[in-house]
A and B are shown apart, each in its own frame.
Chain A
């Protein structure tokens, strides 16, 4: 099956029973599969009038107690930004799948890019933390979709699945595990009495138990800065408290959220960092480099946000050079450079979208970095 179809099957396996979306290449097959599969298992599929409404609908469904998701690509992702912020502010679990195509604007609808990396991080206004995962195969599309639901339920926020056109449309074998072998995380429920429950009173780890609408608890949900009751609290002190918690619940759990796949890091002199479809080209380049006797290594970012700063900071000083391979003008390359903190030179191998990176291009950069004087 292709990556989009794998995303749908994984969402159902994770417990998703509500999908609202608007078809857009190259994410259409997610919606198409959902429209076919959800009614079969008692779920609801709605094609909305646009992506603004789609995002709003999945937030509502989540508060109704149902795991929900939407899928889109560049132009739709732009429209979703405001309500993704609403999801962050109201701490609403849901999953947004963005199968990236080349932008800006309508761009190249049927062709690959990875240009929404920073938009996923900072696209909604205000200061916040986000979680985004980047699959490199239809199998990872399946696995990471499950994980996206689990992370969204646990940390209570919209989790973004940052796929790309090639992965979405690529057909490969996908192994779907037995039901009992799939780990499912559900949102934490209140344990206190109705009288004592405050919807935004967090446990020690910064995460507040969530009562769904209709559970019998008194809840109030607003995009305004709010206090523990969920009521608007319009001052700097309330803002400081709320935003600090929203940021800390992710930042302080970085070690649990961030996952990378590392190859040959122990003795690597040149380390390529990449994600999504580009990570496959990078892995090919690193293997080819090893065959040529160049000590190359790879960090494949399964979690792209939060960025694995600590790992980069520990690897950079013992590395001759680091290279970011991505299909944009250099977005995650900036993060890599920042995290390396000058401990080694950082360069970029990229194109601006429309085709995937050729392993040879990355191999050339690796070879060049391996021979350059420090």
Chain B
């Protein structure tokens, strides 16, 4: 169903992690600064925090009609529940990205690229775990460049409260540098936690 020119991204976790905001920032980078088409839709429950939450982003060179992401090419998981629920939807040859400390992955025969980053831990080290979503965006920009990194950076800075811009920029760069280090083999990715 999805057009070849379209990129489908599913960002998942629980309410309060900035899941929707991450999708919003990615879409902003694509539309406002990279001048592409993008839609972001969200799923969440009635709870303000703690409930399952996802944001679905489509980036395309053409107008997007059906806004749902059914088989993402890129799946970002920031909670165990989100991983368990969505891993089956990841398209073959797609990319799975998860928070090292929050998700135990399962051994699978499916073929996809896999990256993990302790985004929440890094964010905590930078002062607040609220920025885990921005660390994750920085990481995403390195391992799966969907939009120009500068566009994404601009979108981050535009979306966060003015007083927190420097910190968020640090968070973004932390994620991005970690991603580059892994790609270059400078850092050995943490083994991650597996389910038996």
Interface residues of chain A, those whose CB is within 8 Å of chain B, are 25, 109-110, 166, 169-173, 280-281, 283-284, 287, 356, 358-360
Contact = CB atoms under 8 A, between A and B. Distances in A.
Contacts of B66: 280-281, 284, 356, 358-359
Contacts of A173: 31-32, 37-38
B41 A166 contact: yes
**Residue with the highest number of chain A CB atoms closer than 10 Å, among B38, B65, B67, B68:** B65
Given A25-B46, A109-B46, A360-B1, A172 B65 contact: no
Report the 9 A-B pairs with minimum CB-CB distance, sorted nearest first.
Answer: A171-B40, A173-B31, A284-B65, A280-B65, A284-B66, A170-B41, A359-B66, A172-B39, A171-B27
Nearest to A109: B46
A172 B23 CA distance: 11
Interface in B57-100: 65-68
B73 to A, nearest CB: 19
Contacts of B67: 166, 170, 280, 356
Nearest to B44: A110
A170 B43 CA distance: 10
Contact of A283 (B1, B39, B41, B65): B65
Nearest to A277: B67
Interface of B: 1, 23-24, 27-28, 31-32, 37-46, 65-68
Contacts of A283: 65
Count chain A CB atoms within 10 A of each CB in B37, B38, B42 and give the residue with the most: B42
A349 B179 CA distance: 46
Nearest to A360: B1
A26 B37 CA distance: 24
Given A171-B41, A356-B66, 14 more contacts: A110-B44, A170-B41, A171-B24, A171-B28, A172-B27, A173-B37, A280-B65, A280-B66, A281-B65, A281-B66, A284-B66, A356-B67, A359-B1, A360-B1
5 contacts: A166-B41, A280-B67, A356-B66, A356-B67, A360-B1
Contacts of B24: 171
A133 to B, nearest CB: 20
Contacts of B40: 170-172
A171 B21 CA distance: 11
B55 to A, nearest CB: 9
A49 to B, nearest CB: 22
Most buried by A among B37, B38, B39: B39
Contact of A172 (B38, B43, B46): B38
A25 B66 CA distance: 22
A6 to B, nearest CB: 13
Contacts of A280: 65-67
Nearest to B41: A170
A359 B1 CA distance: 9
Contacts of B23: 171
Contacts of A172: 27, 31, 38-40
A342 to B, nearest CB: 32
A171 B24 CA distance: 7
B93 to A, nearest CB: 22
A358 B2 CA distance: 12
A110 B65 contact: no
A169 B1 contact: no
A77 to B, nearest CB: 18
A208 B40 CA distance: 44
A360 B2 CA distance: 12
A166 B37 CA distance: 17
A283 B24 CA distance: 25
A170 B27 CA distance: 11
A356 B37 contact: no
A359 B65 contact: yes
A257 to B, nearest CB: 26
A65 to B, nearest CB: 37
A172 B67 CA distance: 10
B46 A110 contact: yes
A287 B63 CA distance: 13
Nearest to A284: B65
A101 to B, nearest CB: 11
B46 to A, nearest CB: 5
A287 B45 CA distance: 33
B184 to A, nearest CB: 34
B86 to A, nearest CB: 16
A136 to B, nearest CB: 9
A284 B58 CA distance: 15
A284 B61 CA distance: 16
B39 A170 contact: yes
B156 to A, nearest CB: 15
